[in-house]
Chain A
């Protein structure tokens, strides 16, 4: 079973929920798919046992074979190849690695070579299996790296995905294929606005979901009313407490800092299982 933890708005508590949920499940794997700003490792402190560089394939032109016919640049919609006179120039940062240029080159003058965009690290810590990706600074495209993190999914029996914020490609890539998604939000106008966007995403992707309302005692009641109106199950509410904020700031998981939360996260897991229609094993 794959449980994704996501939110439209950043900083609502995705990592807090993903980490603590993982820590109350006996056999579990945690994948941090927020490769732009991975934070789960701060709380898990894993011992990394495997490191792999993740490349995408970009074109390399064999100047001797190239006749500057321009076919490659005409099939590249990303403007990553340009022919100037007798020179064919490649702009690797714009390349999405689709491979069309090399396929259509009539001279066989284009070889695809790997260009690293980031690193995937795997290991274990606090009794769970852990994998995350780290996007190289200056790289724009995170989905290929997110896919590389997700190739480690073992679903044996539970995989938890800590997703990036937002509603576009990095989020879609992260939560695709999940059996359930926990949307973490806060009861503020920003939290509600972005929750509504996330709900649209999940409905479009046909992934079942429920909400966790973090800092439930700040802001207003509109987020709760919205969930009720839309029949979105509220799986858990976490109040604002300085001790929770302080533990977070030091990289301490909430289930460790405030022991009563162990039981609350076990209940959260049970609610997810119930909504998933599975028998608890």
Chain B
């Protein structure tokens, strides 16, 4: 079984469009959305939820007002400014370290389990789909990504799947690092802009740091052919294979509006480009 992750560094380069298209081309696959912060893949896959579970992310302090003598120790020790001057907890700032509860001389602070999201195992027209929704303004997205990936692995083992196909998050921080763990290949979807190349370069460095092999797809390559050449040059100089280039195509948005993947939506030039990229990838991954 192989694991394939789609990331980009910069947001909005087309990760979910590409992942959705791959999902409709791949066979015997478990599909995963690891962008738990702003998940979108479900909009293309219209999943039927089979199982929903609560995500318990960690502990959060609760002050017992009867025991509290308002000594302010909690506020003094907290490094995250999560105890307000009036000695109440700002849950948006709290990182759940529990320092306040351990330091409180009256033991007036209890750490209670915090439910900060949900995760799901669903069925789609392209196979099982594991996804999640992080609660609004919650943290620990990395932990939820790790959980979602573990669940996807057990679903894949049960169903004897050949591939786990993962849609990742933008950026290079905790959810991306969590999504990179143990994958066989990361496909970086980039666009021919200075920002796109700058950001792809940073996420490629992160993948290398964690020893994950990288391949590149240039999306909307015809919007700036000079930047596309620069991107290809960058890849050549760094020994990274460019899997292919996808032209800018208005049918991509129209497909999305209809809740279809680019492959299902039978118009435009983007589809043959993505099909070709998938064939190359299939051969290289051996799935």
By a beta-carbon cutoff of 8 Å, the part of chain A in contact with chain B is 8-12, 15, 34, 36-37, 39, 42, 75, 77-78, 96-100, 103-104, 135, 137-142, 164-170, 172, 176, 188-190, 193-194, 197, 200-201, 204-205, 218-220, 242, 245-246, 248-251
Contact = CB atoms under 8 A, between A and B. Distances in A.
10 contacts: A9-B12, A10-B13, A15-B195, A36-B171, A168-B37, A168-B141, A169-B139, A169-B141, A193-B43, A200-B136
Given A10-B12, A176-B92, A168 B137 contact: yes
Contacts of A172: 92, 137
Contacts of B139: 168-169
Contacts of A138: 177, 206, 209-210
Contact of A188 (B93, B99, B256): B256
B268 interface: no
A137 B209 contact: yes
B242 interface: no
B173 A190 contact: no
A176 to B, nearest CB: 7
Interface stretch (B26-34, B154-162, B197-205): B197-205
Contacts of A246: 223-224
Nearest to A222: B257
B126 to A, nearest CB: 18
B99 A135 contact: no
A169 B171 CA distance: 13
B95 interface: yes
Nearest to A75: B102
A250 B43 CA distance: 32
A143 B234 CA distance: 30
Contact of A141 (B43, B173, B202, B203): B173
A39 to B, nearest CB: 4
Q: Name the residue among B102, B199, B253 with the largest chain A CB count within 10 angstroms.
A: B253
Contact of B77 (A103, A167, A193, A251): A103
Given A98-B97, A249-B194, A201 B173 contact: no
Contacts of A75: 98-99, 102
A250 B10 contact: no
Interface in B140-183: 141-142, 169-174, 176-178
A242 B169 CA distance: 27
Contacts of A77: 58-59, 96-98
Given A75-B102, A165-B37, 15 more contacts: A78-B97, A100-B97, A100-B103, A135-B172, A167-B38, A169-B141, A170-B171, A189-B259, A190-B16, A205-B92, A219-B257, A249-B193, A250-B224, A251-B194, A251-B195
B9 interface: yes
Interface string B257-270: 10100000000000
B229 to A, nearest CB: 12
A189 B142 CA distance: 25
Contact of B256 (A100, A190, A200, A250): A190
Contact of A140 (B142, B193, B227): B142
B192 interface: yes
Contacts of A169: 139, 141
B206 A167 contact: no
B70 interface: no
B103 to A, nearest CB: 7
Nearest to B81: A147
Nearest to A142: B173
